[in-house]
Amino acid sequence: MLEDKNPQRTPVSQLGEFGLIDHLTKGFDIKHSSTLKGIGDDAAVLDFKNKKTVVSTDLLIEGVHFDLSYMPLKHLGYKAVVVNLSDIAAMNAKPTQITVSIAVSNRFPLEAMEELFGGIALAAKVYNIDVIGGDTTSSQKGLIISITAIGEANEDEIVYRNNAKENDLLVVSGDLGSAYMGLQVLEREKQVFQVNPNNQPDLDAYTYLIERQLKPEARTDIKELLEKLEVKPTAMIDISDGLSSELLHICKQSNVGCNLFEEKIPVDPQFIDVCEEFNIDSTTIALNGGEDYELLFTIPLEDFDKIKANPNFTVIGHITQASEGVNLITRANTKIPLKARGWDALDA
């Protein structure tokens, strides 16, 4: 489905490892005073003075986490950064630096690497972060990307998964399920294209869902939003593996239970339409789809008035005693024990 818009193919081996690194990273400039030394030495040097450092790493592997038949390399570079920044945001911290490591096979020319790094550079600009190092090596199969994200926060700002309390409200940012349904649309169109390469897909009706899959955004804005509202979450996690899985993580680590209300789960109208088109239950997908990169968090009950009118947040349930379990309260007011059916990295 992706046409090669640039017929020129320069072998990566023509530049060598260090030449490739110099070529791909020459446009990265330093934005943060905490970056004392970025790319160009044996290691980066950071100085956060009296702040705490938050670090997270994600690995993206071709054929497991992405399909280049419909994922443009520039989008892939952008998304690879975003999924890591989401983890920093989930700690209620500010992302400041990333390192980028890639393993690439000889089927990828220099021009392809330029596209990939163009997406990485765009994400670095949009999220105001420094690219401070990494590694490149060859791969026998396809493309592998590993990004480490670094962030900073005052000690009293950091939010963990293990501090949710009974009667806390369960809150989510944005809407859920759209990224998964965007993937279903792309997979369907890929199959149609394979049968008939002359059949160009009409994706106008699926724009939002496809963007949620191919170009998600990290909710790095939530930290500032909550600070302005004078709300500090008691526990927080990003929704990368599906709402059900992430909620169970919070409940297990906080030793609490939860009631999640089906009718409160926020979904986009386009998502509902496409679930009907595919004859898939929308609640099942909203619970288990994954890759939404929204934030799921708990707040004290007394903070409800501070967030209730904010369009960024939806209260979807409340925390209970551990003995009550983790439950979905259906629209018919039936209580169903919630199971983790989201993405499992070892069961791909």
Contact 171/315 with Cβ under 8 angstroms? yes
Q: Are β-strands 143-153 and 94-104 bridged in parallel, bridged antiparallel, or unpaired?
A: antiparallel
How far is residue 110's CA from residue 209's CA, in Å, rounded to a whole number?
Answer: 31
pLDDT at residue number 141:
83
Contact between 150 and 54 (Cβ < 8 Å) = yes
What's this model's pTM, rounded to 2 decimal places?
0.89
Question: Distance between CA 130 and CA 179 in Å, rounded?
Answer: 27
Q: What phi and psi, each to the nearest 5 degrees, are found at residue 269?
A: -55, -40
Count, residues in the chain: 348
pLDDT for 251 equals: 97
DSSP for residue 168: P
pLDDT at 123 (0 to 100): 97
pLDDT at 27 (0 to 100): 64
Residue 175 vs residues 51, 68, 294: alpha-carbon distances, Å? 32, 26, 8
Rounded distance, CA 165 to CA 162, Å?
9
Which of helix, strand or coil describes residue 52? strand
Q: Give the pLDDT means over successive 10-residue stretches in the chain (348 positions).
A: 57 66 67 72 75 92 93 97 96 96 92 94 96 88 94 94 97 97 94 80 89 97 97 96 95 97 98 97 95 97 96 98 97 92 51
Among 150, 163, 170, 296, residue whose Cα is nearest residue 222: 296
Compute φ and ψ for 120, nearest 5 degrees. -60, -45
Two tokens, residue 42: 């044996």
User: Looking at residue 347, what is its pLDDT?
Assistant: 54
CA distance linking residue 90 with residue 253, whole number of Å: 15
pLDDT for 348: 47
Domains and CATH numbers, the chain: 12-153 (3.30.1330.10), 169-337 (3.90.650.10)
